[in-house]
Amino acid sequence: MNDVKDIKNSKGYEHSSIDELIEGLNHQDRSTRLRCLAELKKCLDKGMIKQPLSGNDVNNHIHTTYSFSPYSPSKAVWMAYNSGLKTAGIMDHDSIGGAREFIEAGRTIGMATTIGVECRVNFSSTSLAGRRLNNPDQRSIAYVALHGIPHTQIDKVKQYFKPYTEARNKRNIKMIEKINSLMSGFNISIDFEKDVVPLSMYNDGGSITERHLLYSLALKMVQRYGKGERLVNFLEYELKLPMSAKVRAYLLDGMNMHYVYDLLGALKSDLVEKFYVDADDECPDVKEIVEFSNSIGSILAYAYLGDIECSATGDKKAQKFEDEYIDELFEAIVREGFNAVTYMPSRNTLAQLLRVKDLCVKHNLLQISGEDINSSRQSFICEAQRNKEFANLYDSTWALIGHEFAATKNLEDAFFSRKTISRYPALEERIKIYKKIGLDSGNVV
């Protein structure tokens, strides 16, 4: 399959193999990424690449290099398509910089897409002030997702998050200083401009997250100690980081192709608290983000995390979050103006999720799901979502796609607009209407 020679497109570009085209999906230049994807689509159409088996699987929460991920928007769509996903949604932190590429990539490959932004907001002005919400690092601060952003609003979203991204970088630099202080005795040092910024898409509208800092630190550690026992001993005996048997085995394997991402996960679980600086200026007040979401016609979702006993991805330690006051949480987010809840079926027990489902129904909240892909080890398919208990999440995804399609044409036709709610007051009826719009629009991607 990978020995195809001299693949040539209409502009005269040549590639020696399909492998090179796939590698080109992560090229620094956006037009090159999209061109490589178009060439790969030709290879699929000609039977040079086997078509993936596709079912009903969906994922509305895929991170890209515009926040933190191994995948550019084009590569993310390619990975989603080849995993068998039916639809894919981009969801970067504080950035919509990859959205237009993601949309075009979806059209190129023939895949329905949605676009959104994830951000942290401040709940200090609400009844939830002081609570540990869904953020392991800071009380009163929560992750929320703006789903289904109409395409006409992309530039407005970009401008809105720009000052918050700048504020985030000021905090990033402070955290780098704390990291360097922690590592000063081990001959490890990070320079924000030289070591961190080049790992990001900041110069093309992307954001720089804590994961970028940790990835840079992980690279420095591998450079200093190599892969394997020496590095594991450093983590356990010098940094005193607890490590599960699974993660320890990953890091003892010098041939592990996901090595740096596994190391990042280990660091994120227990090292962040030692250098974390509170995120204040970069977190809009929850009332502001609700108002902004309404103004652009997006669907604002609270991201349910739930109490953690064992982290599915190895990057979170056991902690209690919203479950002990979940009734109060739902009352608060409804009062503040949220219209959806997003959750990840693989991250929680069935009992936790059934409780969330019931509360969503009680409070008339749209349910949206998605696995936050940010490591090469993660699967784009969430098998837990195939449980019949979550069949509603397929319908809501197509309704989300229908909303984005309709609201892009006219903001008054957004799923939660006054006009739409007046016309279709029952949430279930609205889901059916917008699901049909989504399926029809998805067939002409």
SS3 label, residue 112: strand
Q: Is the pLDDT of residue 443 over 70?
A: no
Q: Is the pLDDT of residue 2 over 50?
A: no
In a domain, 275, yes or no: no
In a domain, 39, yes or no: yes
For residue 190, count other CB atoms closer than 10 A to its CB.
Answer: 18
For residue 151, count other CB atoms closer than 10 A to its CB.
Answer: 15
Element (H, E) at 143: strand 141-147
Which pLDDT does position 16 carry in this prediction?
A: 52
The pLDDT tens digits for 100-123 are 999 999 999 999 999 999 999 999
In a domain, 41, yes or no: yes
Q: Where residue 308 falls among pLDDT bands split at 50, 70, 90?
A: confident
Could you give the residue ranges of the DSSP H alpha helices within 93-147?
99-109
Q: Give 445 or 221, the one with higher predicted confidence.
A: 221
Q: Is the pLDDT of residue 332 over 90?
A: yes
Distance CA 382, CA 356 (A): 18
22's tokens: 């796939």
Distance CA 127, CA 137 (A): 20
pLDDT, averaged across the chain: 92
Give percent of the chain with pLDDT exceeding 70.
93
Distance CA 144, CA 429 (A): 25
In a domain, 33, yes or no: yes
Q: Which of 73-82, 290-299, 367-376 has the lowest mean pLDDT?
A: 367-376
In a domain, 38, yes or no: yes
Which pLDDT does position 269 carry in this prediction?
A: 86
Exposure class string for 320-329: b at 16+ Cβ within 10 A, else e = ebbbebbeeb
In a domain, 400, yes or no: no
Distance CA 211, CA 263 (A): 11
Q: Is the pLDDT of residue 186 over 70?
A: yes
434's tokens: 């917008």
Distance CA 4, CA 25 (A): 17
Q: Is the pLDDT of residue 444 over 60?
A: no
The pLDDT tens digits for 397-418 are 999 999 999 999 999 999 999 9
219's tokens: 């690279």
For residue 292, count other CB atoms closer than 10 A to its CB.
Answer: 17
291-295 own/partner pairs: CB under 8 Å, 24+ apart: 292/160, 293/146, 294/337
C-alpha closest to that of 205 among 407, 22, 30: 30
Q: Is the pLDDT of residue 370 over 90?
A: no
Q: Is the pLDDT of residue 306 over 60?
A: yes
359: left (phi over 0), alpha (psi -120 to 50) or beta: alpha
Residue range 168-186: mean pLDDT, rounded: 97
Domain count, the chain: 1
Q: What is the DSSP letter of 310?
A: S
Q: Is the pLDDT of residue 205 over 50?
A: yes
C-alpha closest to that of 77 among 42, 117, 41, 47: 41
Distance CA 359, CA 345 (A): 16
Distance CA 91, CA 98 (A): 9
For residue 197, count other CB atoms closer than 10 A to its CB.
Answer: 17
242's tokens: 């607890």
Do 423 and 89 touch, CB atoms closer than 8 A?
no
In a domain, 167, yes or no: no
For residue 350, count other CB atoms closer than 10 A to its CB.
Answer: 12
Q: Where residue 255 falls among pLDDT bands split at 50, 70, 90?
A: very high
Query: What predicted TM-score, i.e. pTM, was given to this entire model?
Result: 0.93
Report CA dihedral (372, 89, 23, 251) to the nearest 10 degrees.
10
- What lies within 8 Å, CB to CB, of 67 at 6+ separation is 92, 93, 94, 95, 118, 206, 207, 209, 374
In a domain, 344, yes or no: no
Residue range 293-307: mean pLDDT, rounded: 96
Q: Where residue 346 falls among pLDDT bands split at 50, 70, 90?
A: confident
DSSP string covering 18-75: HHHHHHHTT-SSHHHHHHHHHHHHHHHHTTSSPPPP--S-EEEEE--TTSS-S--HHH
312's tokens: 């599915």
> Taking CA 253 as the corner, what is the angle to CA 248 and CA 258, rounded to the nearest 5 degrees?
90
- What lies within 8 Å, CB to CB, of 361 at 6+ separation is none
Residue 34, domain extent: 1-49
Which pLDDT does position 445 carry in this prediction?
A: 55
Q: What is the DSSP letter of 314?
A: S
Residue range 261-280: mean pLDDT, rounded: 93
Residue range 296-308: mean pLDDT, rounded: 94
